Structure 1
Amino acid sequence: MIDLSDHQTVTITAYRTPLGDLENPSSTRVLTPTDLQESAPITLDGQLRLIPGAETFRRSSSLVANPSSQGISLRGLGSTSASRTLVTEDDIPLNDAFAGWIHWEELPELSIHSVEVVRGGASDLYGSSAIGGVINVLPVRPSANSAELTSSYGSENTYQDNLFLQGKRGAWGALATGGVLGTDGFIQTVPYERGSVDVPSNVHAQNGLLFLDHQQGALRVFVKGSAMNEARGNGTPIQQNGTRIWRFAGGSDWTPAGGGFFGGSTTVFRAYGSTEHYRQTFSTIATNRNSEILNRFARTPDDEMGLVLHWSKPLRPDLVFLAGSDTHDVRAGDFETVIKSGVKSYVNLHDRQRQTGTYAELLWTPGAWTISASGRIDWFNNFDGQQFLPTVTTLPQISQHVFDPRIGIDRKLSEHFALSAMGFRAFRAPTANELYRSTQVGSLLTLPNNDLVSERATGWETGIAMQQKWGTVRASYFWTQVNRPITALTTCSTCNPIQLKRENLGQIESRGVSVDFEAHPLTWMAVQGGYQFTNADVTKGTGDAPAGNWIPQVPHQMGSAQLRAYKPKIGTLSLQARMSGHQFDDDANTYLLHSYFKLDTYASHDFGKRIELFTSAENLFDRSIEVGRTPTLTLGNPRTIRGGFNLKLGPSPR
């Protein structure tokens, strides 16, 4: 039986050092295994939307979204195709190496134990892309001999099947997991604007992961490999894309006991790499949407390699020191065939990016105080860029040295209350995709700009936290200013497709308040949720994006709530509500997207210890959720109902 009132202090790793709820200067949320399992959405991006302020570039689910609209945003900072938030799994970045977006279908569902969301700049420890924060996926590790099979099917031929196998024998542990998921999708264009070219947007994906580790005393070593393959239809017969990713990683965790220099310390090492093949087709759609013409075919392969090393040691009971270094190297190509008036031309180029950083942190906990100070120096280089067609051209190089500090202070006022404050500097380097490759979503064509430079952010936040036996509440005020933000500015609103170009805008700001709560009013009931009000706008603009305009795709108000109840004889019932205020689809604030309310449900019942039946419904009231106006209006997922089962043999992996 699960006692939903059994609330424990959550341990988080926002500072790469464990801290409790009342000792942490940063605003954090954790999606527990229960949160993930009892959420109606089957993809991680949908589950993250339980946290106010966590939003992809557009409102649509990754089941029907073009990859270039899947950049993740925190703290109201928005995104373009790239994310202003870093996503990691066990210290390894998951942001697309070439473009910065997230492949939400990449990780097998049963390989994820929980997810930590750290809001606020964290470039002092993580480097580029952590302007809005860090989303850290904590993986399942082999702990027993068990197996689990899950399967579900529902509306629009939406399906998900996952298999998990794990084994533990002495010092050795192994697991294998993988699955398939997909949907035949739906037509996103509103009915009164559809033409014969409008077909359902959809995805069909497969993923898998193998993991092996060995624990010998204080030393754990591991190796793992994973793969994903997906094919997407982006709403017309011609507009399609496909992705294949192979990842590998190895590393060690060393925690020697005893005295001496290394005694009581923790040393973490990771070596990783990936190979990705991405392809996409683009088209020009007639005004009446009854015909389309292929205008471009692109292949974008890339390879990445990286190393991570960090070491921490308690210098005394109330003082911990951490130091580390990492490097990340990406080699990418873009091979495109452009068709204009029946004439083909070619764009072939390659590029290389490298980011190397070194950092240190000091965490001091005298009495009721928690004081942290950290800083990082990054060396970012974009080099070896060459375009081969129509002529051989050397592309501009970028070389930057960046220093990002952060300081945090937390003061416990009593056993149940704490005040906190935190200030930071952060940065995000332009991706190769933003520098060199055009992207298209619907009727929007965004052109690259090889003169882009990195974004620089300054921010701070202050908050109050309360922890009682019945739950926790945390409220924060935050302010972040981003200079030279990379934005897609409209250059031709009457063209077909509408043309935008990436530019470094003058300045944007996001300031507001957020409240998170979790309560257990009864032993069998839990309530959690939050609210975020954000005034996110342009403070130094130009052209169609003057000062005072809202940041595209960022609403001023967002809120969510989840009610979960559990009775052994009845089962589990979970209700998940989400609301979002209106927002604008473009930098000129011409295309308004109205507010929405969405209710999801999940219910399950156990038949013995091994079999669980469940059902879920997304958008239960079948609300029309506006996703984009380009200027054609597109909508989000209609009501989707699924049913399925879990079969468990042995202990559950989560």
Structure 2
Amino acid sequence: MTLFRSLMAGTGLSLALCAATPAFAQDDPVIVVTGSGLEETPAAPAYDTQVIDRDQLASVPSGRIEDALSGVAGFQQFRRSDSRSANASAQGATLRALGGNATSRALVLLDGVPMSDPFFGYIPFSAIAPERLAQVRVTRGGGSGPFGAGALAGTIELESAGMDSLGGFTGQALANDRGETELSASTGAQLGSGFVVASGRWDRGKGFFTTPEADRVPLSARAAFDGWSAQVRGVAPVSGDVELQVRGLAYRDERTLRFEGADSTIEGQDASVRLVGRGAWAFDALAYIQARNFTNIVVSSSRFVPVLDQRNTPATGLGGKFELRPPVGDAHVLRLGVDYRNAQGELFETAISAFSGNVTARRQAGGTNTDLGFFIEDDWTLGAMVLTAGARLDRWTIRDGFYRERDAAGVLQIDAGYPDRSGWDASFRGGLLYRANPLIALRAAAYSGLRLPTLNELYRPFVVFPVVTQANAALENERLEGFEAGVDLTPSSGVKLSLTAFDNRVKNAVANVTLGTNLRQRRNIDAIRARGLEAAASANVGRLSFDASASWTDAEARGSGFAAVLDGNRPSQTPRFVGGASLAWRPAEAWLLSATIRHVGAQFEDDRETNVLPAATTLDAYAQIPLLRDVALVLRGENLTDETIITRNQSGSIDLGVPRTVWAGVKIGL
């Protein structure tokens, strides 16, 4: 609650500043606030980037941000489930087939703030509503710029929408054929030269059975969900070229998976303050604080009673960044800066006997990770060519790690404290962009990156029955080295094509390594290497638009010693081919009809390549049909062909993804 009061106080400051801004006389210059960060630098297109615009975000057939991101080939979660039917702790985000991992290997930013959970590293996708975003920018490949630590596989930048996108009021109410509901609304107001926007969303439903019908038991449960999120954002001018941005986000999500009583929750409160200066000495100063929690009850799949109560996992994230762009001439854009992140958290859980129902052990585990990074980058424009080079130096610490276990009587059985560790790591990136003519642009880039193991990977063991996965407090940092080359074609107005070839290698990759029957441990293996091709195409011709993206990746694990058995294997949860295409038609103003087809190739559940997840092809659709001036009928369809999507297969214990689902409702404010 303290954080929430701080959040509200910060929002109040923003409103006060907005209200205090005087009205300008006719001769005064007009101050325009954008609510966004600094502009992209000239060399940004040198890296493999794809943008999802607001129209695409607002017409996602499922209404989920992770499905919008799935339109970018190479985007991958640990499993194929979305945020209604997955355990949140397994929803990491990765790019470029660099190995399925419940922890994120891609850096996800919302208005510049890292969104990964400070303890687990997962992304709270259910708290990020697509309709409140202006755009998403996905850059595949490692980076060393601001908040570069963690951008091992790439960066996903989410930008909140402002008044220019949202208008005064928008909202929608939908229900599907299972009786589930989705309600969302946003309202905003201009206050002086600034604005304030408040938005909320509430999703709830009984869900579908993730367990195949033949395997269900009387206590099998639907994947029920009940989640809400609310965001308040204020933007106000401080001077003619400096603006203040204040944002607060709060959310809670409750889910049930597989069996009655197997309930989990995530909740969080985030607050951030940002100053953006667009003058000759441009700068971006950001500070944030996050409070997160996770609970989870594990139910025995043989006796159907609770065997583990992860009753509390409080975690705190705080940090900030400062970036300065001094005036160094029209040919250069120089970026200098520093950023800091602190992640600390603690797990409290109770083990319960499946036979007696008595408590058998009480456990605690936790620690603190920090990263302080210094970065410099310069873009140099030489006619049709832009060169870029950047370096980053990180001072990291892994400290205060511990694991304690007490028996039912409270007697201490294990009291392990782990040595503090720290170090310096350097990373680099560089590239070039050459616009040969208006039709062709050539680009190339090379980079390195860093990711610290999360507190979850270091200290928390877990069970997905019957498999036990042990933690490992000795895990080393992951490091990526890679390069790529590509071509962008613009054969005519509104038509864009791109092709990228890449070779990325993650050294000391953290993987769940099989040690014995139903026993795994998190270990650093030698490397994961991913080589492949990424292609994208978009076209806007009259009222028709087309977007497509595909990736083919040859990925393999490199292992020796204990991991020699993995050498040459394809990393778990990593398909060889992913692709999709969307076709949209606007027959008249405020109308929209679209269809999306997506294919995910076969992949392995485990590191030994014993359990296969078959390929799946899905068809989704969206329709917006105006009824009145500002009111439209909305129809959405997910998996319209009712494809069987297997999301988990552990020696025949199977989970299924979303079946055919049809939504209908109304949208206000077009």
Distance in 1 (CA, whole Å) between partners of 2:196 and 2:309 is: 44
Q: Which runs of 4+ in 1 moved over 6 A?
A: none
Choose from 551, 567, 571 the match for 2:587.
Answer: 567
Output the CA distance in 2 between the equivalents of 1:627 and 1:394. Answer: 37
Conservation of the 8 A alpha-carbon contact between 1:121 and 1:130: yes
The match for 2:387 among 364, 371, 375 is 371
Q: Which residue of 1 aligns with 2:158?
A: 137
The aligned counterpart of 1:539 is: 558
Please list the CA deviations of residues 558-609 of structure 1 after superposition, one character each: whole Å capped at 9, or x if unmatched: 1110001111179221010101111111000000111111110001112343
What is the match of residue 169 of structure 1?
A: 191
C-alpha distance 355-605 of structure 1, shift in aligned 2 (>3 A)? same
Cross-structure match for 2:208: 186
Matches within 5 A, 1:432-581: 432-441=455-464, 443-467=466-490, 468-493=492-517, 498-520=518-540, 522-541=541-560, 542-543=562-563, 545-568=565-588, 571-581=591-601
Structure 1 residue 642, shift from structure 2 partner: 0.4
2:607 — aligned with what?
Answer: 587
Q: Distance in 2 between matches of 1:245 and 1:570?
A: 36
Give the C-alpha shift of residue 555 in structure 1.
0.7
Aligned to 2:68: 47
Deviates more, 1:184-193 or 1:94-103: 184-193
Give the Å deviation of 1:97.
1.0
Task: Give runs of aligned pairs for residues 259-298 of structure 1, distance below 5 A.
Answer: 264-286=280-302, 291-298=304-311
C-alpha distance in 2 between matches for 1:156 and 1:396: 52
Deviation at 1:219, TM superposition (A): 1.5
Task: Describe how 1:303-318 pairs up with structure 2 within 5 A.
Answer: 303-318=316-331
CA displacement at 1:238 relative to structure 2: 3.1
Q: 1:443 to 1:644 in 2, by over 3 A?
A: farther
606-615 or 579-588: bigger deviation: 606-615
Q: Deviations over 1:361-400 (max 9, x none)?
A: 0001111101100011111111122345435432232212
| 1:88 alignment partner AA | L
Match 2:252 to one of 205, 229, 241? 229
Bigger drift between 616-625 and 329-338 goes to: 329-338
- The residue identity in structure 1 corresponding to 2:515 is T
Structure 2 contact 366–455 (Cα < 8 Å) conserved: no
Mark the runs of 5 or more structure 1 residues left unpaired by the alignment. Answer: 1-14, 257-263
Q: Distance in 1 between matches of 2:168 and 2:662?
A: 29
Once the two structures are TM-superposed, the CA of residue 220 in structure 1 deviates from its matched residue by: 0.7
Tell me how many residue pairs correspond in the alignment.
619
Pairing 1:28–2:49 present? yes
Residue 80 of structure 2 aligns with which residue? 59
Matched, 1:622 2:646: no
Asked if 1:245 corresponds to 2:258, the answer is no
**Other-structure match for 1:6:** none
Do the aligned residues in 2 keep the contact of 1:110 with 1:177 (CA within 8 Å)?
A: no
Q: Match for 1:525: what amino acid?
A: L
> Relative to 1, partners in 2 of residues 1:78 and 1:453: Cα closer, same or farther, differing over 3 Å?
same
CA distance in 2 between counterparts of 1:295 and 1:145 reads 48
- CA displacement 1:329-355 (0-9 Å, x = unmatched): 122111121234645212123411111
| Superposition deviation, residue 536 in structure 1 | 0.8
In 1, Cα distance between equivalents of 2:632 and 2:468: 46
Q: Which residue of 1 aligns with 2:40?
A: 18
**Do the aligned partners of residues 122 and 610 (structure 1) sit closer, same or farther apart at CA in structure 2, a change above 3 Å counting?**
same
Task: Return the letter of the residue paired with 1:536.
Answer: A
Give yes or no for contact 1:125–1:375 (8 Å, CA) kept in 2.
no
Q: Deviations over 1:443-500 (max 9, x none)?
A: 544221111111111100001111131410010101101111000112343xxxx332
Looking at structure 1, the residues matched to 170 and 306 of structure 2 have their Cα atoms a distance apart, in angstroms, of: 47
Tell me whether 1:330 sits opposite 2:349 in the alignment: no
What SS does the corresponding residue of 1:433 show, helix, strand or coil?
A: helix
- Whole-Å Cα distance in 2 between the matches of residues 546 and 310 of structure 1? 42
Change (3 A) 1:29 1:570: closer
Q: Tell me which residue corresponds to 2:364.
A: 348
Letter in 2 for 1:365: T
8 Å contact 2:88–2:266 — kept in the other structure? no
Match of 1:118 in 2: 139
Taking a change above 3 Å as real, the CA distance of residues 232 and 545 of structure 1, as seen in their structure-2 partners, is farther
User: Residue 24 of structure 1: SS of its match in structure 2?
Assistant: helix
C-alpha displacement of 1:544: 7.7
Give the root-mean-square deviation of aligned CA atoms.
2.0
Maintained 8 Å contact 1:545/1:587: no
Letter paired with 1:115: V
Matching residue's letter, 2:507: N
Q: Distance in 2 between matches of 1:526 and 1:91?
A: 30
1:485 partner SS: strand
Q: Identify the residue that residue 361 of structure 1 maps to in structure 2.
A: 377
| TM-score, structure 2 as length reference | 0.89
Residue 218 of structure 2 corresponds to residue 196 of structure 1: yes
Q: 1:205 to 1:41 in 2, by over 3 A?
A: same
Quick one: which amino acid aligns to residue 134 of structure 1? T
Q: 1:254 aligns with which of 264, 269, 277?
A: 277
Contact 1:241-1:278 within 8 A present in 2 as well = yes
| CA distance, structure 2, for counterparts of residue 150 and residue 504 of structure 1 | 47
Cα distance change on mapping 1:579 and 1:110 into 2, 3 Å:
closer
Q: Secondary structure at the match of 2:575?
A: coil
Amino acid at match of 1:319: H
In 2, Cα distance between equivalents of 1:609 and 1:28: 37
Change (3 A) 1:473 1:192: same
Aligned position for 1:8: none
In structure 2, list runs of 5 or more residues that go unmatched.
Answer: 1-36, 406-411
- 1:227 is displaced (CA, Å) by 0.4
Matched residue SS, 1:35: helix
Could you list the per-position Cα deviations for residues 489-547 of structure 1 after superposition, in whole angstroms to 9, with x for gaps in the alignment?
12343xxxx33211111111000001101012x30111110111000111235458421
1:427 is aligned to 2:450: yes
